[in-house]
Amino acid sequence: MRIAVIPGDGIGGEVVPAVLPALELLGDHFGLGLSYRIFDWGAERWLAERVGLPPDALDLLASDYPAILLGALGDPRIPDMAHGRDILLGLRRGLDLYVNYRPFTPRGGDRTIALFRENTQGLYAGVGGTVSHGRHPAVAIDECVYTRETVEKFLRYCLRTLSESGRERVTLVHKSNAVPHTGRLWQGVFRAELAGFPGLVGSEEYVDSFCYHLVRDPSPYEGIVASNLFGDIVSDIGAALMGGLGLAASASVCPETGCALFEPVHGSAPDIAGRGIANPYAAATAVALMLDHLGHPRAAAPLRRALAAAARTDSATPDLGGHGTTGTFMADVMKRLEKDLA
C-alpha cells in the first residue's frame, strides 16, 4: 500500500516527519507492506515556482496512492493562503473527498464521538457574488447549495459507518427553521436513510442549541452528521473538548474510490513553527486514523495507547503542560510502542 506524504508548511514540516517512524514500525511489525513517498507541495514551492498542486498530481494520487498524509498548509508570506486553497481544495474536489470524519474524545471520558461533516457543498460550494457601488461591495451573496445526490450518499456512508462501529445514536445538526431549503432536504434524506438502519436511533437538533448542549455535556452523543459549515464549527468545539488543537485529526474520504486524506486538525501554527515544541499527537492520530481506514485497526490501537500514555507524563509538549519537545515526545511514544509490541 503506497502512501503520499505531504508535510506542507510550518509545524506540518515538524510533526509529520516526527510521526513517520511510528508508521514504519507498525507497518513492519504487522507486515502491512506500507511504503511512502514525500511530496514537497507547499509554500516554498509556491513562492519559488507558483506551483500549488502540480498538474499531474491528481492522476498520480488517484492511480497510485490510496492514502495521503498531510501536515498543514499556511504561510504568513502568502496572506490569502492561495497555495493552501490550491492544494487542499484541489485534493478535496479533485479526489471527491466528500466525507470529512473528525472523531473526538471529550476529556475525562473514554468514548469517542464520531463527527461527520459534508466536505464539498453547502456554503463552500463557491456560488455567489458581490454587487458593488463604487469601491465598496453593497451586496454580498454566498449561496448554500446541496444536491440530493450528495446528501444521500454522504448520509448513507455515515449511517453505515456508525452502525458498523456499534453506535446506536446519531444526531443530525441543522438549522431548518432559519435555513429552510437545504435544512429540509437534509431532514428528509436523514429520515429516509435512517429507515435502512434499524439499529440506529436518530435525533435532530438546531445547530445553536446543539452547540450549547455539546459543550455542557457531550456524553449523550455518539454520532453526529452535519453539513459543511456547521460541521466545521462543531469540529472545532470537538477539538476544544478533547483538550486542544494539538490532539485532533481528521480523515477526508471518497467512499466510492476508497481514496482518503488524513491530517491533523491544526494549521501551520506560524507562532510556534521552528521552535521544536509543536505537539505531534494530532499528526500521529492522523496516522492511526489512516491505519483504521486501511483495514488495520490492530496496528492503530497500540499507537493510540502509546500516545495517550505519553501525553499524561512530563514528556508531553508545552501545550499539554509538559516540558517535552516534538522529538522527545515521539521518542517516548516509540519506546512505549516497542515495549507494547515486544
**Is residue 223 within the footprint of Mg ion (CB under 5 A)?**
no
By C-beta, is 254 or 265 nearer to Mg ion? 265
Asked if 56 interacts with ligand ATP (CB under 6 A), we say: no
The 10-49 site mask, x for binding ligand ATP (CB under 6 A), equals -x--------------------------------------
Q: Does 84 bind Mg ion (CB under 5 A)?
A: no
Q: Where are the beta strands (DSSP E) in the chain?
A: 2-8, 35-38, 67-72, 99-104, 113-118, 128-133, 136-142, 169-174, 201-206, 223-226, 249-253, 260-264
CA angle 174, 177, 183 (to 5 degrees): 40
Nearest approach in angstroms of CB 21 to ligand ATP is 18
* Bridge partner residues of 205 (DSSP): 173
3-state helix, strand, coil split of the chain in percent (to 5) is 45, 20, 35
Looking up cell 517512524 gives 21
Closest CB 306 distance from ligand ATP, rounded Å = 17
Q: DSSP per residue over 247-267, as a string?
A: T-EEEEE-TTT--EEEEESS-
- Residue 278 touches ligand ATP, criterion: CB under 6 A: yes
Q: How many residues bind Mg ion (CB under 5 A)?
A: 1
Residue from 233, 245, 301, 308 touching ligand ATP (CB under 6 A): that is 245
Minimum distance of ligand ATP from residue 264's CB (angstroms)? 6
- Rounded to the nearest 10 degrees, how much is the dihedral formed by the CA atoms of 214, 242, 109, 307? 160
Residue of 243, 267, 322, 324 interacting with Mg ion (CB under 5 A): 267
Q: Binding residues for Mg ion, per CB under 5 A?
A: 267
Q: Binding residues for ligand ATP, per CB under 6 A?
A: 11, 72, 74, 245-246, 266-272, 278-279, 282, 317, 319
